[in-house]
Structure 1
Amino acid sequence: MAKDISDDDLKLYYSIGEVAKKLGISATKIRYWDKEFSHLKPSKNSRGDRRFTKDNVKQLQQIDFLLNQRGFTLEGARKEIASGKRKSTDKSEIIDRLVTVKRKLEGLL
């Protein structure tokens, strides 16, 4: 069975507004996390607007999960990310799937 390709699958970069909407968090929080987490490095266009890749979105999902679901402090989240590069990739994929399932379930209500 062929997988349907959406416009989202074809995009290389996302604006901060698109990422904020996708993750359900504010653009202000994303800007703050950009300053606090050195591994998060979105590119910027000529006007200085952040452009996020799919990897950046996964990194933001991981940060959001650690801070808001697991209750980590900023420093604790930094250490967790630094100590578990391989495990964090697997976790971010799982988180991405769970967020997708959650949104689909919310759409059924």
Structure 2
Amino acid sequence: MTKDSGAFRTIGELSKELNIKPHILRYWEDQFGMLQPLKRAGSRRHYRPEDVEMVKTINRLLNEEGYTIKGARKFLTSRKAKSGATVSQDAQAASAPPVAATVKEDNGVMLKELKTIRDRLSSALGQA
């Protein structure tokens, strides 16, 4: 028997549903301030539908996209800020340099660093 998508979930139910251990969910609550399930008597956690979506997003960022906790926190904070952006902030963003150019530059720097690491590892393995 499955719960309705709008129903609250206990930490055990969410853990089973998403295949994430309960201690990881509790750790994420400490690391991501925006994840705040309801706590009932005996500190039993009840995850609302928006909490479930937040956990799914955190899981995707950390385990599928390779974000660090700090990076995922920053991503979620910036996404929250963007969703509350005013018209004047949107106008400022339009005058800013395109994101694609910045991403290309960041990717180029990252690629160069990764190649350097690869070369170091290769030479270390060759010496071993």
**TM-score with structure 1 length normalisation?**
0.69
Instruction: Give the unaligned 5+ runs of structure 2.
Output: 84-128
Q: Superposed, which structure 2 residues align to 1:91-106 within 5 Å?
A: none
Paired position in structure 2 for 1:37: 32
Higher relative contact order (CA 8 A, sep 6+): 1
> What RMSD over aligned residues (CA atoms) do the two structures have, in Å?
2.2
Q: CA deviation at 1:86?
A: 8.3
Structure with a larger share of its residues in helix = 2
> Which aligned segments of 4 or more residues in structure 1 are displaced greater than 2 angstroms?
85-88
When Rg is computed on C-alpha atoms for both structures, the one with the higher figure is 2
CA contact (8 A) 2:40 2:46 kept: yes
Q: Deviations over 1:76-97 (max 9, x none)?
A: 0000001113889xxxxxxxxx
Q: Structure 2: how far apart are the matches of 1:10 and 1:39?
A: 21
Q: Superposed, which structure 2 residues align to 1:6-85 within 5 Å?
A: 8-9=3-4, 12-85=7-80
CA contact (8 A) 2:5 2:49 kept: no
Q: Structure 1: how far apart are the matches of 2:63 and 2:6?
A: 27
SS at match of 1:12: coil
Amino acid at match of 2:49: K
Q: CA deviation at 1:74?
A: 0.6
Percent identity (aligned): 36
Q: Structure 2: how far apart are the matches of 1:87 and 1:21?
A: 32
Q: Structure 2: how far apart are the matches of 1:10 and 1:54?
A: 7
1:79–1:19 CA distance, 2 compared to 1 (3 A):
same
**TM-score with structure 2 length normalisation?**
0.59
1:10–1:63 CA distance, 2 compared to 1 (3 A):
closer
